[in-house]
Amino acid sequence: MPIQCSSCAKNRAMLRRPKTGHSLCKSCFFWAFEEEIHQTIVSARLFNPGETVGIGASGGKDSTVLAHVLKVLNERYDYRLKLLLLSVDEGITGYRDDSLETVKRNQQQYDLPLTIVSYEELYGWTMDAIVKQVGLKNNCTFCGVFRRQALDRGAMMLNVDKICTGHNADDVAETVLMNVLRGDIARLRRCTAISTASDGEGGIPRCKPLKYAYEKEIVLYAYFKKLDYFSTECVYSPNAYRGHARTFLKDLEAVRPSAIMDIIHSGENLSVKEGVKMPVQGTCSRCGYISSQALCKSCVLLVGLNRGLPKLGIGKHHRLHDKILAQQALTQQEEKKLKAMNF
Ligand code: SF4
Ligand code: ZN
C-alpha cells in the first residue's frame, strides 16, 4: 500500500526526508526545505531589505539550489534583495569551462545577472598553469586562497553588500571535524559562524544560508525540481585529508542522521579557553587585502609562483616573506629550499 504524506495526509509520499525521517510528498518536501532556509535567514538576520547579494555560483548542486531557493524566498517573503550571480573561473580545462556553461544557463533560467572573474585576469595564472608548476599535491591550497580573494574582488567590483555561498550542513560539520583533527583552534572557533562580521574584518560579509541543509536533501531538491546543475568533480581534486573527514561523517550519518546537526551544534557551542592566541587582522602591504601577516596569503603564493619558488606559501617561511618583500636577495640555500617540488 502506498504511504501517505505525513504532512498533508492527502498525497502519496514520494520520499523519506534524510534529515528527519518523515515521509513526504513532493510539494510538502519542497515547502519544508524552503521554509527551513527561510527560518535560517530570518533568525540569523542574514539580510536587510534593499541589499545587493552576490551568490557565489559554481554550477554545482549547492550553489544552484541556493540561487533557486533565494529567488523563490525573495519573492515569497518580499526580502527586497537584489540578487546576482558571481562565478570564479579558476582556469581548469575539462571542469570549470563546462561548469561555467551550466552557470550561464542558470543565468537565463533564473533571470539573474552574472559576472565571471578569472584567476588569469586577476593573478596572471590559471590553475592549469599552476598545477604544471606545483604538481598535484598542494594545488588546492593555491586554488582555495585565490578563490576566496577572487570572490571578494568580484563582489567589490559589483558593489555587493553581501556574498552568500552554498556551503551546506555536511560541509560545515566536515570542517568542524577537520579543525578538531588538526587542532586549529582559531579556525574551529570561526568555522561554524553563519556569517562573517560586517565590521572589523575588512572583507565583504559572507553568509551560508544552507548551513543547516543536508547535502542529501539538496540533491533530492535539485532532482525533484529538475534543476540544471553540473556534477563532475574537479580534475585536480586530491584533498585526501578532507576526503577522510567526509567518509567518516557519511559513516556516522548512516548510523545516526542527526550526527551532522549534532557536530554543528557542538562546534557552535564550543568556547575557546582564554589565552589562546588569535591572529590580529591587518592589511597586506602589497595588495591591500585583509591579512594577519605583512603579505596576504594570496600575494605570498603569487610571489612564489612568479619567482619559480612554489614552496614559499606552503608551510611557515615568514622570515623569507619579509626578505622578499624588502627585495633582498635570497641565499642559494634559501632558494633551493623554496624550489623543491617534493613538498
Ligand atoms: Fe580548486 Fe582543488 Fe577545488 Fe579543484 S579541487 S577547484 S583545484 S580547490
Ligand atoms: Zn596581498
- What pLDDT band is residue 202 in, cutting at 50, 70 and 90? low
pLDDT bin (cut points 50, 70, 90) of residue 199 is very low
Write down the pLDDT at residue 198: 47
For the stretch 59-77, pLDDT in tens is 999 999 999 999 999 999 9
Answering whether pTM is above 0.95, one says: no
Is the pLDDT at 153 greater than 60, yes or no? yes
Of 50-54, 67-71, 88-92, 198-202, the least confident: 198-202
- Mean pLDDT across the stretch 195-218? 84
Binned at pLDDT 50, 70 and 90, residue 101 comes out as very high
Q: With a cut of 50, say whether residue 343 has pLDDT above it.
A: no
286 Cα–ligand 2 center, Å: 5
Average pLDDT over residues 21-47: 97
Q: How far apart are the first and last CA of the chain?
A: 60
Ligand 1 atom with minimal separation from the 96 CA: 6
259 is in an annotated binding site: no
> What pLDDT is attached to residue 291?
85
15-269 homologous superfamily: HUPs (3.40.50.620)
Q: Is 262 annotated as a binding residue?
A: no
- Pairwise CA distance, residues 320 & 93, whole Å: 33
- The preferred substitution site among 87, 237, 239 for testing ligand 1, maximizing ligand atoms within 8 Å of CB, is 237
Split at pLDDT 50, 70, 90, the class of 276 is low
Please report, for the chain, the start and end positions of each structural domain, with discontinuous segments joined by +: 15-269, 282-340
Q: What is the mean pLDDT of residues 194-203?
A: 65
> Is 78 marked as binding a ligand?
no
Phi-psi region of 328 (alpha: psi -120 to 50; beta: other; left: phi over 0): beta
Average pLDDT on 22-34 reads 97
Ligand 1: residue whose CA is nearest its atom 7? 140
What is the β-pairing status of strands 15-16 and 23-24?
antiparallel
The stretch 241-254 carries a mean pLDDT of 91
Mean pLDDT for the stretch of residues 76-103: 95
Residues 195-212 have a mean pLDDT of 79
Average per-residue pLDDT for the chain: 90
User: Do the beta carbons of residue 69 and residue 99 sit within 8 Å?
Assistant: no
Residue 295: CB atoms within 10 Å: 23
CA distances from 70 to 18, 157, 214, 328 (A): 22, 22, 17, 51
Mean pLDDT of 8-15: 95
Band (201; pLDDT cuts 50, 70, 90): low
* 268 three-state secondary structure: helix
Confidence at 200, pLDDT banded by 50, 70, 90: very low
| Ligand found nearest the CA of 292 | 2
Is there an atom of ligand 1 within 6 Å of 90 CB?
Answer: yes
- Closest ligand, as measured to the CA of 321: 2
Summarised one tens digit per residue, pLDDT across range 136-147 is 888 988 999 999
Q: Is 56 annotated as a binding residue?
A: yes
